[in-house]
Amino acid sequence: MDSTVSVQQQFSHRMVKHKPGELLEETYTVKDPLGSGRFGKVWLVEDQKTGDKFAAKQCACRRASQRKEFELEIEIMNSLDHPKLLQLYDAFFGKNDVTLILELVTGGELFDRIADEAFDLTEALAVKYIRQICEAVQYMHGNMILHLDIKPENILCVSPERLDSIKIIDFGFARKYTPNSPLKIMFGTPEFVAPEVVNFDPLGKGTDMWSIGVVTYVLLSGLSPFMGEDEQETLSNVTACDVDFDDDSFDDVSDDAKTFITKLLDIRESKRPNCAECLEHSWLSKEDQHRKSLSAAVVNLKKFVARRKWVRSINAVRAMTRLQAGLKKNDDPSTSK
């Protein structure tokens, strides 16, 4: 069977130039809230002329540095035309915010769907997901762009009817990559960042490959390989790079899959296989050979998803508290210069 999964784009790729924020209300009608988090809010919007529906991601943008970051995100999305990567349709900069009009993807987060009791997760299905992720990242790397934030929340199912088809989203941390010009960052999600991020060493394409390895580990077991009691312990576990498959959840996981993960979770960035090598790995070429249900992984994934949502809600509250404090400070005449 052909393991390639066709994913349709909602619209043809567009080269987007941002517009003044006041034009947003003249162009789109806001319908329903779709979600919120530390980044801001997402709304369902409708094009007033065509009736087409999109997701509008609205984020605070009060400083020049923030505006520069969003301009870079728009520039990167303009350069990415792939059916498994979320597409940008429009963009608006207001006085204190930015709104990105994005392709509407309705299937929800992949791990949320898998954690549903009615979902039958098999290693064969995991192979299908990881192949799609590798294909999307291969395209990005071919365009000399690193995603740098590959994690479960950024992998969505295309629609409720197509839970076997995914798209990668959120290019806010993505960066252009030049081999002879060292790139160093200090951001990311602790459970999924590579050791070179923690150590503030130069990054490479292997940095994304590490994250794919962690996602694969979690997908097959429902366990987080480096999760500690707190963020500092998690980062220490990442740099120690001590990976094992001792938990009973791996009893039904093939040796091929474990080898695949081990190769990706190599502490040496340059030694990790690239996407092309991953796609040629024996595990990703045996989709039909792993039909056994990974019931233990699904049970663990329920807990994993619940914990991640709790962490995100706490982070969102903290972000809102900082925002409100900043607004009060700006409104206080005694702090004005």
Which active-site residues does the annotation give?
A: 149
In one letter, which amino acid is 140? M
Nearest to 125 by CA among 114, 136, 137, 109: 114
**The pair of three-digit structure tokens given for residue 228, joined into one six-digit string:** 């500690």
Q: Residue 57, annotated ligand binder?
A: yes
Backbone angles phi, psi at 38, to 5 degrees: -60, -30
Nearest to 107 by CA among 86, 128, 122, 138: 86
Q: Give the distance between the most distant pair of CA atoms in the chain.
A: 70
| Cα distance between residue 206 and residue 106, in whole Å | 30
Are the C-beta atoms of 90 and 27 separated by less than 8 Å? yes
Are the C-beta atoms of 138 and 147 separated by less than 8 Å? no
| Cα distance between residue 333 and residue 319, in whole Å | 23
| Cα distance between residue 305 and residue 237, in whole Å | 21
Backbone angles phi, psi at 53, to 5 degrees: -105, 145
Q: b/e string for 118-142 if b means 16 or more Cβ within 10 A? A: eeebbbbbbbbbbbbbbbbbbbbbe
The three-point CA angle 120-121-125 to 5° equals 120
Residues making up the binding site: 57
Q: Binding site for ATP: which residues?
A: 57
